[in-house]
Amino acid sequence: MTRKLEGKIALISGSGRGIGRAIALKLAADGARIVVNDLDEAPAEETVAAIRDAGGEAVACPGSVTAPDFAERFVGTATQTYGGLDILVNNAGYTWDNVIQKMSDEQWYAMIDCHLTAPFRILRAAQPVIRALAKAETEAGRRIVRKVVNISSVAGLFGNAGQINYSAAKAGITGVTKTLAKEWGRLNVTVNCVAYGLIRTRLTGNSADQGTERIDGRDIKVGVNPDLLAAMERTIPLGRGGTPEEAAGAVYLFCIPESDYVSGETLLCSGGLTGI
Question: According to the binding rule CB under 6 A, does residue 74 interact with ligand NAD?
Answer: no
Tell me which of 82, 94, 109, 166 is the catalytic residue.
166
Q: Using the minimum distance from each CB to ligand NAD, give the nearer residue, 133 or 163.
A: 163
Indicate whether 201 belongs to the interface with ligand NAD (CB under 6 A).
Answer: yes
Q: Under the criterion CB under 6 A, does residue 215 sit at the interface with ligand NAD?
A: yes
Binding marks (x or -) toward ligand NAD, 88..117, rule CB under 6 A?
A: ---xxxx-------------------x---
Quick check: 165 binds ligand NAD (CB under 6 A)? no
- Spell out the SS3 assignment of the chain: CCCCCCCCEEEECCCCCHHHHHHHHHHHHCCCEEEECCCCHHHHHHHHHHHHHCCCEEEECCCCCCCCCHHHHHHHHHHHHHCCCCEEEECCCCCCCECHHHCCHHHHHHHHHHHHHHHHHHHHHHHHHHHHHHHHHHHCCCCCCEEEEEEEEHHHHHCCCCEHHHHHHHHHHHHHHHHHHHHHHHHCEEEEEEEECCECCHHHCEHHHHCEEEECCEEEECCECHHHHHHHHHCCCCCCCECHHHHHHHHHHHHCHHHCCCCCCEEEECCCCCCC
By CB under 6 A, residue 17 contacts ligand NAD: yes
- If the CB atoms of residues 16 and 56 are measured against ligand NAD, the closer one turns out to be 16
| Of 47, 64, 163, 174, the one binding ligand NAD by CB under 6 A | 64
| Residues contacting ligand NAD: total by CB under 6 A | 29
The smaller minimum CB distance to ligand NAD, of residues 91 and 134, is found at 91
Q: Which is nearer to ligand NAD, 92 or 189 (CB)?
A: 92
Q: Does 153 bind ligand NAD (CB under 6 A)?
A: yes
Residue 38: phi and psi, rounded to 5, are -155, 170
Q: Is 261 a catalytic residue?
A: no
Under the binding rule (CB under 6 A), the answer on residue 174 touching ligand NAD is: no
Per CB under 6 A, 38 contacts ligand NAD: yes
Active site residues: 166
Which residues of this protein are in contact with ligand NAD, per CB under 6 A?
Answer: 13-14, 16-20, 37-39, 43, 64-66, 91-94, 114, 151, 153, 196, 198-199, 201-204, 215
